[in-house]
Amino acid sequence: MTFTFKLPDPEATVIEFYRSSLWGSVWIKANGHKVLSSSAFNPLNQVSLSLTRKYEFSLPGPSPRHVCITKVRPLLFAGFRRNRYIVTFNGQTIEEHVGY
């Protein structure tokens, strides 16, 4: 799953999100700089009993900017169905995406 969005902040920060549905690796970039990554070799990326996983990070700057991308898996056959990704910026939902 890959998607890009722009934050509603004065700096107009562009965030890129990538998650490999096959291997479970994740990386998030802000204006081309990697701010969060999770390796495919980490066993915690492969097995999860929780239906939600949060990827949270804060961006430096004059104003506080906290971004959270929440992955919500379906209850039945979660590995074979599409996930929902909810993007929040400073506590407010700004986008939702659906995909593998």
HEC assignment per residue over 26-75: EEEEECCEEEEEECCCCHHHCCCCCCEEEEEEEECCCCCEEEEEEEECCC
Contact 55, 28 (CB under 8 A): yes
pTM (predicted TM-score):
0.88
Q: Which domains does the chain have, with CATH numbers?
A: 2-99 (2.40.128.180)
Question: Residue 57 has what pLDDT?
Answer: 96
Q: What is the pLDDT of residue 49?
A: 82
What confidence score (pLDDT) does residue 66 get? 96
Q: Which residues of the chain have pLDDT under 50?
A: none
Copy the structure tokens of residue 39: 């390796």
Q: How far apart are CA 90 and CA 88, in angstroms?
A: 7
Tokens coding 92: 């407010």
Which pLDDT does position 90 carry in this prediction? Answer: 94
pLDDT value at residue 26: 93
pLDDT of residue 39: 87
pLDDT of residue 98: 96
pLDDT of 47: 74
